[in-house]
Amino acid sequence: MTGNHTIPGDDQHGMDCDRCREAMSAALDGESDAAEQARVDAHLDGCAACRAWRRDAETVTRRARTGVAEPGPDLVALVLDAAPGPRARWRGTAARAGLAVVGAVQAVLGLTSLLGASMQHDAMADSIVVLGAGMAHATHESAAWNLALGVAFLAGALWTRHLAGLLPALGAFIAVLAVLSGIDLLAGRVEPARVVSHVVLVVGFVLGIAVVRAAPRSGPAPTPGGRWWARGEGPVAPHGAPAPDAARWERESDVA
């Protein structure tokens, strides 16, 4: 930074002409570096060519900024058709509302089978035990899973940001369940009405995809990746419990 020795006579001021002109150019754009300015001034004291260049550069800049400012055509009417239509506005909302309804239905189905299983299970002898679970426990497990999916749909409708993460698991579940349901239906091991109730899952899956596609921007989320910050106090030690209303979630992606 202290001169360019290929240009004798310029480096004694700590800056060669090229560097000086680059710094003057930045200064003309309001992007100057205060530390550099002193060396620029020192160079200018001894360099008439750079003083002339600065005057010329100012003139040229003014001409370039003002001389080419002819207005362009108004394109608003021509290009507006390419913009997302009003459908985009309600598509996401409708999909979320639908997902919430599906979640509620699924949760009710799960609760119903949970209650049904509890009521029957006194009367039912566990004659069949598979992999350590009797019929009653297998039914409980399936009911819990159905209830959980209902809650997951509801949560996904509320916090769209995390919905995408649910979809692969749900897709796998639906695919496996579809195959098994088909086999069980053919073998007469399940009533058609029970299989029809699985359609709720498929509808939820499709709506989930629609919500994810309609809201590419980060939607609301409970932010597991976030850190708990006290307002104005910086990071809080894990054991220091801040008052909930004096703190906020801050995502790393928001900070960056």
Positions touching another protein (CB under 8 A) are: 7, 10, 16-18, 20-22, 24-26, 28-29, 31, 47-50, 52-53, 56-57, 59-61, 63-65, 67-76, 78-80, 82-92, 216-218
CB of 69 to another protein, least distance (A): 8
Give 74 or 245: the residue with its C-beta nearer to another protein. 74
Which tokens hold the place of 152?
Answer: 């997951």
Give 147 or 215: the residue with its C-beta nearer to another protein. 215
Residue located via tokens 């509801």 = 154
Helix, strand, or coil (residue 230)? strand
CB of 160 to another protein, least distance (A): 13
Element (DSSP H or E) covering residue 26: helix 17-28
Q: Between helices 135-158 and 199-214, what is the axis angle to 10°?
A: 20
CB of 81 to another protein, least distance (A): 9
Give 58 or 126: the residue with its C-beta nearer to another protein. 58
Phi, psi of 134 (to 5 degrees): -75, 175
Residue 127's nearest CA partner among 142, 114, 138, 113 is: 138
Distance CA 156, CA 222 (A): 11
CB of 41 to another protein, least distance (A): 17
Give 46 or 182: the residue with its C-beta nearer to another protein. 46
Give 66 or 127: the residue with its C-beta nearer to another protein. 66
CB of 68 to another protein, least distance (A): 6
DSSP strand E in the chain: where? 129-130, 133-134, 227-230, 234-235, 247-250
Which tokens hold the place of 247?
Answer: 């703190």
